[in-house]
Structure 1
Amino acid sequence: MENTVTDMRDKPHTDFIYCEGAITEVLKFGSCQLHSGHKVLFLIIPGNPGVVGFYTTFMQTLHSIFGYRHPVWAVSHAGHCAPPDSMDMIEDASSTSDRDVFGLDAQIEHKLCYLRKHVPRETSLVLVGHSIGCYIILEMMKRDPELKVLKAVMLFPTIERMAQTPQGKVMTPVLCYLRYVAYLPLFLLSLLPDGIKSFLIRLAFGGIRSLDLTVVQPTVGLLSGDCAANAMYMGSQEMRKVLERDNVTIRKNLDKLIFYYGAADHWCPLQYYHDIKQDFPHGVIKLCENGFRHAFVLDAGREVAKMVAEWIHGDLRT
């Protein structure tokens, strides 16, 4: 099923657009425009930071496994990408001054806006969320029940009680009260040449033996301008707003949902897996047996893509 030979169809295309008034990066494997022949679109909703370049290997693997038949796209979070020289972070500051365009609620509306403008309503969607992207997907399905969702795959889902998790207890004071302290070092980092940023990033990731080198350049971009600050701001809202699990939306869409929990995920403790299994005994709720980290894109994008393909292969047969 998998083609391991490098193919021109493995080359992605990148669009920078304004969506809901904010700069947005869209990474596309396969067709750049959808037409009537495209029955299915894979759409990746990233975690935080919402940098689509982190998912390059994951997306490329999915695209090739299914024989390049289905486009695989990823939409960045608003303001989590460095705009090209011809564009600004905000399209029109006067029109967005009264809106929280980088907040968590706006990020949900941002994804729905993208679908309305760029994806035909008749196109079936395979939504793949990672971390907070899973929360966003549940909110999308709640706010627009007419979305034609074939499957929604929730990878390492942070969909409840984020501030109470081991990582949340550490990061809540940092993100909610101390993030302004981090803005000065972030600004100083942004002034460094990209080559030095790349060296520092490789140094920081030095403990990851099988580091996927495709994540280095997107991380360089994250350290440019206001991207990291926007990601931290969104994170502060996650700690305050991601509270109780939305059981109503899960119950309504249970046949479409696949959950994949980490066995040692500090953003989503093992107890959360047991809790949701108890509440939804008939749901497809899996526990990682491979030791993958929450940030799986750092070293296991290919392996996780293969698993996702196995889970949904039967649903794509026509």
Structure 2
Amino acid sequence: GSGSGRPRMETQSEFFFCSGAATEVLKVGSSQLSGEEVLLLLIPGNPGVVGFYESFLLTLHGMLGRPVWAVSHAGHCAPPDSMDLVEDGAAAARRDVFGLDGQIQHKLAFIRDRVPRGTRLVLVGHSIGCYMILEMMRRSPELEVLKAVLLFPTIERMAQSPQGKVMTPVLCQLRYLAYLPLFLLSLLPQLNSMYLGGQEMRMVQERDNVTIQKNLDRLIFYYGATDHWCPVSYFQDMRRDFPHGDIRLCERGVRHAFVLDAGQEVAQMVAAWIGGSLTA
């Protein structure tokens, strides 16, 4: 920062194409990185709209003093009028950029294109963002990840969860979205969110124990006590399978969609958990 006293905190929003799809990044703290520092990068849930996370990001930055960025999911933001949701419809359709695998590739492309090499990352995931982070660590082990904090992690058996049982029939009806002309999809971020949701139900089945074990010392899991996407039994299974892992159960009654009313509270907890890892 510059000047004396505490700088007035605000978020900066930037829009650009990444993997050929409109992407928003919300930044707090330095928007330009030198490549030597630590960056906290949030991978959101679904819908992957970064504006929801504003108070969470501001609080994290206020407590840790590090740059904090959140990257939207491809096509989940509402870009400025001058910008389409996709650069090239045919290419986006071929790559299925709005699907689960496409969204993971999109995050890796974002880091490759927009984060200077040598930046050390603290990844913070919410819901399906946690699944994406484990996949990112599996596919790109060269990423310099100091810690990954997985909040309300939907990393297994989504369709079997209480919420999944309600949503799966609805979302799987939406498979026909795949056959809509892409220009229709690209008009509506909400459709992209539902399309991703349908893929989540089909694809998030078995937990990736190999990746978890390999990175266990870098992972923190935080489960909700009343989370209909991850019942407490999923937390208990994790504790049983990874007795040495840092796997926590919420005791504060925070709900799965924590950003709606507990963004600051959860940010304060996250800051307390990871503060020690950032002093290096």
Q: State the TM-score, normalizing by the size of structure 2.
A: 0.92
Secondary structure of 1:109's counterpart equals helix
Match of 1:44 in 2: 42
TM-superposed deviation, 1:32? 1.3
Match of 2:14 in 1: 15
TM-superposed deviation, 1:120? 2.0
User: What is the distance in 2 between the residues matched to 1:89 and 1:122?
Assistant: 30
Secondary structure of 1:117's counterpart equals helix
TM-superposed deviation, 1:83? 1.5
Counterpart contact for 2:120–2:145, Cα < 8 Å: yes
- Counterparts in 2 of 1:39 and 1:79: CA distance versus 1, 3 Å: same
Match of 2:23 in 1: 24
Match of 1:57 in 2: 55
Counterpart contact for 1:121–1:147, Cα < 8 Å: no
Decide which moves more: 147-156 or 169-178. Answer: 169-178
- Unpaired stretches in structure 1, ≥5 consecutive residues: 182-223
How many residue pairs get aligned? The number is 268
Secondary structure of 2:23's counterpart equals strand
Match of 2:104 in 1: 108
- Counterparts in 2 of 1:97 and 1:270: CA distance versus 1, 3 Å: closer
Q: State the TM-score, normalizing by the size of structure 1.
A: 0.82
User: Aligned runs of 1:153-232 on 2, under 5 Å?
Assistant: 153-177=149-173, 225-232=187-194
- Counterparts in 2 of 1:178 and 1:120: CA distance versus 1, 3 Å: closer
- Counterparts in 2 of 1:153 and 1:35: CA distance versus 1, 3 Å: same
Deviations 1:6-50 (A, max 9, x none): 842x111100010000000100001111114x5100000000000
TM-superposed deviation, 1:111? 0.2
User: Aligned runs of 1:1-318 on 2, under 5 Å?
Assistant: 7-8=7-8, 10-36=9-35, 38-66=36-64, 68=65, 70-177=66-173, 225-318=187-280
Runs of 4+ in 1 over 3 A off after TM superposition: 178-181
TM-superposed deviation, 1:96? 2.7
Counterpart amino acid of 2:216? Answer: L
Counterpart amino acid of 1:233? Answer: Y
Counterpart amino acid of 2:112? Answer: R
Secondary structure of 2:135's counterpart equals helix
User: What is the distance in 2 between the residues matched to 1:279 and 1:90?
Assistant: 42
Match of 1:192 in 2: none
